[in-house]
């Protein structure tokens, strides 16, 4: 699994003009699921994200996690994070898991991060043409890949 984690002042997801999710201060998490990902990836990634110390403390130092900050989160599935651009100019998505694999893993990731965070999180609509609006705070953007844990 690969996640792009963005610290935001606000973020929202709209599908066909309908607001699906919105948050204030917190994290927008773009999640790309690849073939071979499993529950171990979900558990590790969720814990890593909710405990990332990327929010400012009282001294303006990035020293607080989403848990400590009390912020919210939106998780949006994004298969294009698994793109390979090694050959030519057209990305290959061969590493991205097909919907029959990725939908259950995405749904399980959402449940796990909700449990780890102790509150509901927003989501996108899997496979939909989503419009994601965000105000990146910092900007702070972190890329995490479960295949690079070491």
Any idea which residue has 């499993």 for tokens?
38
Any idea which residue has 């939106």 for tokens?
74
Peptide bond into 126 cis (omega under 30): no
Peptide bond into 85 cis (omega under 30): no
CB 5 within 8 A of CB 65: no
Q: Which among 9, 7, 10 has a CA at the least distance from the CA of 55? A: 7
pTM value surpassing 0.85: yes
Tokens coding 35: 């073939």
For residue 150, the model assigns a pLDDT of 65
Give the pLDDT of the chain (150 residues) as one tens digit per residue.
999 999 999 999 999 999 999 999 999 999 999 999 999 999 999 999 999 999 999 999 999 999 999 999 999 999 999 999 999 999 999 999 999 999 999 999 999 999 999 999 999 999 899 999 999 999 999 999 999 876
Please list the active-site residues. Answer: 78-80
Domains of the chain listed by start with CATH number: 2-148 (3.50.80.10)
């Amino acid at each position: 699994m690969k996640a792009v984690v963005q610290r935001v002042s606000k973020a929202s997801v709209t599908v066909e003009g309908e607001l699906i999710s919105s948050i204030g201060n917190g994290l927008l998490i773009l999640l790309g699921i690849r073939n071979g990902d499993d529950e171990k990836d979900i558990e590790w990634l969720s814990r890593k994200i909710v405990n990332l110390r990327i929010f400012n403390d009282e001294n303006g130092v990035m020293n607080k996690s989403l848990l400590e900050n009390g912020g919210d989160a939106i998780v949006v599935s994004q298969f294009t994070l698994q793109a390979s651009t090694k050959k030519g100019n057209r990305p290959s998505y061969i590493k991205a898991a097909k919907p029959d694999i990725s939908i259950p893993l995405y749904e399980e990731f959402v449940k796990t991060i909700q449990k780890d965070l102790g509150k509901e999180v927003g989501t996108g609509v899997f496979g939909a043409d989503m419009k994601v609006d965000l105000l990146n705070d910092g900007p702070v953007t972190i890329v995490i890949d479960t295949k690079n844990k070491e």
